[in-house]
């Protein structure tokens, strides 16, 4: 008469079987929030792979405000290295750093209708403090042309006051309504913006190309990413600009440039 074999209890190994290590159990189930391998294939799901990589690498952390993310120390250190490289190079061109307020009067924005029209959907406005309405609402800068050029008009009285070469390291706010992606499309992000003024168009255009090479250098020399230099289409031209230059990197997994 055949004997009944005892059933192994949950979590116990049957006779002759080796108990799976704890790490293997985790791998078979839900992936840990940090550490461990990347469980999503880059070729099958680029957005999912990207999100898992930056979370497991402890570069960013989610934040309660939609579209905003915490930059953890490793991520911010990368930014510091980029800042150091770029800042050192622009200073050899005679560029000086400055800082303008993050609040821009609405009247400044209205002077540049192209800016207001293009940024209106993403413009964050401060209209009150506490329970008191602000007499003139202020915008949280989406970019600083309107604020800086109002000052430039006071500083430049003749060609002797030119050229002006100023750079600003700051954060800007664009209230994105599209899906946000850490480092690529967020509601607040860190950047630098250079604003120069010259006595003639040729000098200004030369400066544009000189700085474009420095942007390319950040990718190619510092980050080891090849890029293609070029000019944006009219539809992609920065609001208020005659033309916009760019450096584009190709993403093989998606077939797109960024």
Q: Does residue 2 lie in a domain region?
A: no
List, for residues 51-66, the tens digit of each pLDDT value: 999 999 999 999 999 9
- Give the 3-state secondary structure percentages of the chain, helix then strand then coil, rounded to 5: 35, 25, 40
Q: Are residues 55 and 145 in the same domain?
A: no
Rounded CA gap, 239 and 140, in Å?
17
Kindly state whether residues 191 and 83 are assigned to the same domain.
yes
pTM: 0.82
Radius of gyration over alpha carbons of the chain, in Å?
26
Residues 41 and 92 in one domain: no
Q: How many folded domains does the chain comprise?
A: 2
Clarify whether residues 132 and 165 are in a common domain. Answer: yes
The SS3 of residue 21 is: coil
Is the same domain home to 172 and 204? yes
pLDDT (0 to 100) of residue 238:
86
pLDDT of 24 reads 44
**45 within domain boundaries:** yes
Using an 8 Å Cβ cutoff, are 156 and 164 in contact? yes
Domain with 182 in it: 71-257
For the stretch 165-200, pLDDT in tens is 999 999 999 998 888 999 999 999 999 999 999 999
Same domain, residue pair 199 and 126: yes
Residue pair 232/246 in contact by the 8 Å Cβ criterion: yes
Residues 37 and 139 in one domain: no
86 and 49 part of one domain: no
Do 48 and 104 belong to one domain?
Answer: no
Tell me which residues of the chain have a pLDDT lower than 50: 10, 20-29
Residues in the chain: 258
Residue 167 contacts residue 135 (beta carbons within 8 Å) = no
């Amino acid at each position: 008469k055949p004997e009944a074999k005892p059933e192994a209890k949950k979590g116990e190994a049957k006779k002759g079987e080796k108990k799976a290590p704890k790490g293997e159990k985790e791998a078979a189930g839900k992936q840990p929030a940090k550490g461990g391998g990347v469980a999503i294939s880059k070729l099958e799901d680029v957005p999912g792979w990207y999100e898992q990589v930056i979370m497991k690498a402890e570069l960013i952390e989610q934040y309660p405000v939609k579209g905003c993310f915490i930059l953890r120390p490793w991520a911010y250190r990368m930014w510091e290295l980029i800042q150091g490289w770029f800042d050192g190079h622009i200073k050899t061109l005679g560029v000086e750093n400055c800082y303008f307020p993050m609040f821009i009067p609405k009247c400044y924005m209205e002077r540049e209708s192209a800016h207001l029209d293009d940024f209106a959907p993403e413009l964050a406005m401060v209209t009150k403090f506490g329970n008191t309405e602000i007499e003139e609402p202020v915008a949280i800068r989406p970019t600083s042309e309107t604020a800086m050029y109002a000052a430039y008009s006071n500083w430049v009285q003749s060609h002797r006051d030119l050229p002006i070469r100023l750079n600003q390291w700051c954060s800007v706010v664009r209230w994105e309504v599209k899906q946000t992606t850490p480092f690529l499309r967020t509601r607040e992000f860190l950047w630098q913006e250079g604003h120069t003024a010259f006595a003639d168009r040729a000098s200004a255009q030369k400066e544009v190309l000189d700085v474009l090479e420095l942007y390319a250098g950040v990718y190619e020399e510092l980050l080891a990413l090849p890029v293609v230099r070029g000019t944006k289409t009219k539809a992609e031209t920065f609001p208020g600009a005659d033309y916009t230059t760019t450096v584009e990197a190709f993403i093989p997994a998606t077939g797109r440039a960024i």
